Structure formats: C-alpha cells, structure tokens
Amino acid sequence: MKIIITGANGQLGRCLQDVAERYPDYEFKFKSSKELDITSKEQINSLFAHEKFDYCINCAAYTAVDKAETDQENAFLVNAEAVKYLSEACKTENTTLIHISTDFVFDGSKTTPYTEEDVPNPINVYGASKLKGEQYVQNILEHYFIIRTSWVYSEYGHNFVKTMLRLGAEKEELSVVNDQIGAPTYAGDLAEVIMKVISSKATNYGLYHYSNEGAISWYDFAKAIFEIKGMNIEVNPIPSEAYPTPAKRPINSELFKHKIEKIFPKNIKFWMDSLHKCI
C-alpha cells in the first residue's frame, strides 16, 4: 500500500505522520507545500506519473478564513482548482482520493446537526472555495472519500487551543463568543479515522462527516482549555456581534456522524477527552 499525503506540515499532516508509525506495512510519502505545490498541475502530474499511489490524502488547504474574504483568488486556487488537479491525476492513475473539507460549507441556520444530505450554502469565501473543491472531486472521481470536519486543533500549527493558551499567558481576562455552536475535532483522532478508512479497504465511497462527540460554543471550549491547564483566567461570554470578523461564521455547524460510525465502526471520542489528551 502506497499513500501520498499533501500538506504534510499542517495540523492533520503532522498527526498523520505520528499515526503512520503504527502502519509499518504501508509506504507513506509526506509532501509539504514546499515539496509539492498542489496549485501546479505540472508538479502533480509529474509526481503521479512517476510514482503509483493507492491513496492520496489531501490535507493541503487555504484555511485563513478571514483573510480569504480579501484573498479570494488564492483561496479558490488552493481549495478548489488545486483539488481539481489532484482529482484529475487520481483518476488518470487510479488512485483513491481522501479529501478533507469543512463544516463551513453550511450557513448555520439549521437548529439540528448537519447530515451529508443537507444542502450546502456557504456564507463566506472560505466555505465557498471548499465547497467548489468538493464538487470537483464528486464530478471527476468515482473512488473518493470526502470527510467534512470542524474546529480542528492539535499540538501543531495555529489553532484555537494554542491561541487561547498564548493569550491566557498574557492576560487575566478574555472575551469569547458563546453563540456559535459546533464540535471541536482533535486532528490526531481524525488521522486515526482516515487510516481506519484506508486499512478497511472499503469501497463505500462518498461524503462523510466527522468530528469529536459533543456540541459546545467557543466560550465553552475556552473555559475547558483553561480548566485543564489549571489557569485562572476569567472568560466572559459575548455574542458574535460584539466580536465582528471579516468573514461571517455559521451559528450552528454541528455535524451528524451516524454514517461514518456505521460504515467505519470506531468509538468517536468525546471532545473533552480528546482535549485532555492533546493538552
């Protein structure tokens, strides 16, 4: 089994490197953005023509949600056009693509968790670019897994947990929005789920939702981070209007995970347990 991972130095890519050590029978090729520019069709085609891969895990993405509002061209280049190039190469070389997408393809107006059958309606450029990438995968490939996830954090890179710990070391009081609801996802758990999909050799291709269990607000998330670290930080709940950002966020982006639980049986960890592990 030969597997290529794009965006290898990102949060999920780094966690996949950790998980890969438990799969000595598989050959992994980890490619950072410097080693493989997925926005270059030539680089992708050249690599796939010279090496045959059973799976491609696309962890590369433009994830600067607010910056994307004024950098639309680059957001769509990385999250959509580059995904098209990867999909075309995977089709030519008979490689199964595992593509990571986002809860931000939804507008957040639903009051219950989003299923794979719900119609996407992104309310920011980032979400729109990720949806376009999904559509390329679905239109080009038959052998693919799209996994939508939410609120990803880890020991690596830039994320909410690390930002809170940094701010908590600098300040005694913070204000965090409490009216946006979703589920944190530990990238280490997501990496394990991806390897479960691959090791099962399943052909149940299509779209899946995955996050850790439980639905909370960013305020709840921040409180839990400081509680686990034993940091005495006063966290004040505020509405989204009190913390305006260039990109609108969905009010509810909780994902319904019954499909992935049924087809790839694996105990989905509660968000607090995974947060403990990460911290």
Can you spell out the DSSP letters for 217-246?
EHHHHHHHHHHHHT---EEEEE-GGGS--S
pTM value is 0.96
The residue type found at 225 is I
149: DSSP letter: E
At 129, is the pLDDT very low, low, confident or very high (cuts 50, 70, 90)?
very high
- pLDDT at position 13: 98
pLDDT in the model for residue 265: 82
Give the side-chain half-sphere CA count within 13 A for 131.
17
pLDDT at 267 over 90: no
- 18-62: per-residue pLDDT in tens? 999 999 999 999 999 999 999 999 999 999 999 999 999 999 999
Note the pLDDT of residue 266. Answer: 80
Cα–Cα distance for residue pair 204/214, rounded to 1 Å: 26
Burial of 248 (0-12, 13-18, 19+ CB in 10 A): middle
pLDDT of residue 106: 98
d(CA 229, CA 253): 27
Q: Please tell me which residue in 62, 126, 136, 208 is annotated as part of the active site.
A: 126
Active site residue 126: yes
> Residue 119 class from Cβ within 10 Å (0-12 exposed, 13-18 middle, 19+ buried)?
exposed
- pLDDT tens-place string over residues 250-265: 999 999 999 999 999 8
Type of residue found at 11: Q
Amino acid code (one letter) for 93: E
Give the other-Cβ count within 10 Å of 135's Cβ. Answer: 15
